Structure 1
Amino acid sequence: KVNATKEAKKIIIQTIQRTGAEQTIENAITVFNLESDEIKGQIIGREGRNIRALEAATGVDLIIDDTPEAIVLSCFDPLRREIARLSLQRLVQDGRIHPARIEEVVEKTKKQLEEQIMEIGERTIIELGVHGLHKDLVRMVGKMRFRSSYGQNLLMHSKETANLCGIMAAELGLGQKVVKLAKRAGLLHDIGKVPDEETELSHALLGAKLAEKAGEHAAIVNAIGAHHDEMEMTYIISPIVQACDAISGARPGARREMMQSYLQRIKDLENLAMSYNGVEKAYAIQAGRELRVMVEAEKISDADSDRLSFEIADKIQKEMQYPGQIKVTVIRELRAVNIAR
Structure 2
Amino acid sequence: MNYILLIFSVIGGLVIGGLVVFLVNRYLLATRSKTILEEAEKEAEVIKKNKLLEVKEKFIHMKAEMEKQANARNAKIQSAEAKLKQREMQLSQQQQDLQKKKSETDAIRANLDTQLEMVEKKKQELEKLHKSEVERLEHLSGISAEEAKERLVESLKEEAKTQAASYINDIMDDAKMTANKEAKRIVIQSIQRVATETAIENSVTVFHIESDEIKGRIIGREGRNIRALEAATGVEIIVDDTPEAIVLSAFDPVRREIARLALHQLVTDGRIHPARIEEVVAKVRKQIEEEIIETGKRTAIDLGVHGLHPELIRLVGKMKYRSSYGQNLLQHSRETANLCAVMASELGLNPKKARRAGLLHDIGKVPDEEPELPHALLGMKLAEKYKEKPDICNAIGAHHDETEMTSLLAPIVQVCDAISGARPGARREIVEAYIKRLNDLEQLALSYPGVLKTYAIQAGRELRVIVGADKIGDAETENLSTEIAKRIQDEMTYPGQVKITVIRETRAVSFAK
TM-score (structure 1 length as normaliser) = 0.72
Question: Which residue pairs with 1:119 in the alignment?
Answer: 294
1:102 aligns with 2:274: no
Give distance in 1, aligned partners of 2:419 and 2:221.
52
Per-residue CA deviations over 1:263-305 (Å, capped at 9, x if unaligned) read xxxxxxxxxxxxxxxxxxxxxxxxxxxxxxxxxxxxxxxxxxx
**Contact 2:361–2:396 under 8 Å retained in 1:** yes
Give distance in 1, aligned partners of 2:268 and 2:404.
55
After TM superposition, the structure 1 = structure 2 runs for residues 217-296 of structure 1, keeping only pairs within 5 Å, are 217-255=389-427
Shift of 1:257: 6.8
Question: Which residue pairs with 2:223 in the alignment?
Answer: 48
| Runs (5+) with no aligned partner, structure 2 | 1-175, 434-513
Question: Which residue pairs with 1:128 in the alignment?
Answer: 303
Question: Which residue pairs with 2:214 in the alignment?
Answer: 39
Question: Which residue pairs with 1:69 in the alignment?
Answer: 244
**Contact 1:117–1:143 under 8 Å retained in 2:** yes
Query: Looking at CA atoms only, which structure, 1 or 2, has the larger radius of gyration?
Result: 2
After TM superposition, the structure 1 = structure 2 runs for residues 297-316 of structure 1, keeping only pairs within 5 Å, are none
Question: Which residue pairs with 1:160 in the alignment?
Answer: 335
Question: Which residue pairs with 1:170 in the alignment?
Answer: 345
Shift of 1:256: 5.4
Aligned residues: 257
1:24 aligns with 2:199: yes
**Contact 1:58–1:84 under 8 Å retained in 2:** yes
The structure carrying a bigger helix percent of its residues is: 2
Which of 65, 73, 84 matches 2:259?
A: 84
Give distance in 2, aligned partners of 1:144 and 1:74.
19
Shift of 1:131: 0.7
Question: Which residue pairs with 1:200 in the alignment?
Answer: 372
Give distance in 2, aligned partners of 1:132 and 1:80.
29
What amino acid sits opposite 2:212 in the alignment? Answer: D
Per-residue CA deviations over 1:136-169 (Å, capped at 9, x if unaligned) read 1000001111122233211111111001111111
What amino acid sits opposite 2:364 in the alignment? Answer: G
Shift of 1:64: 2.1
Give distance in 1, aligned partners of 2:372 and 2:269.
45
Give distance in 1, aligned partners of 2:256 and 2:195.
28
Shift of 1:35: 2.8
What amino acid sits opposite 1:170 in the alignment? Answer: S
Question: Which residue pairs with 1:59 in the alignment?
Answer: 234
Shift of 1:76: 1.1
- Cα RMSD, aligned residues only: 1.9
Which of 180, 184, 188 matches 1:5?
A: 180
Identity %, equivalent residues: 74
**Contact 2:199–2:331 under 8 Å retained in 1:** no
Give distance in 1, aligned partners of 2:194 and 2:209.
37
Give distance in 2, aligned partners of 1:200 and 1:89.
36
Give distance in 1, aligned partners of 2:200 and 2:289.
24
1:149 aligns with 2:324: yes
Give distance in 1, aligned partners of 2:265 and 2:338.
37
The structure with higher relative contact order (CA 8 Å, sep 6+) is: 1
Give distance in 2, aligned partners of 1:39 and 1:248.
43
**Contact 1:60–1:73 under 8 Å retained in 2:** yes
Give distance in 1, aligned partners of 2:241 and 2:424.
35
SS in 1 for 2:205: strand
Say which is worse superposed, 34-43 or 53-62, in terms of deviation: 34-43
1:139 aligns with 2:314: yes
Give distance in 2, aligned partners of 1:92 and 1:106.
13
**Contact 1:25–1:253 under 8 Å retained in 2:** no
Give distance in 2, aligned partners of 1:19 and 1:45.
50
**Contact 1:152–1:255 under 8 Å retained in 2:** yes
What amino acid sits opposite 2:414 in the alignment? Answer: Q
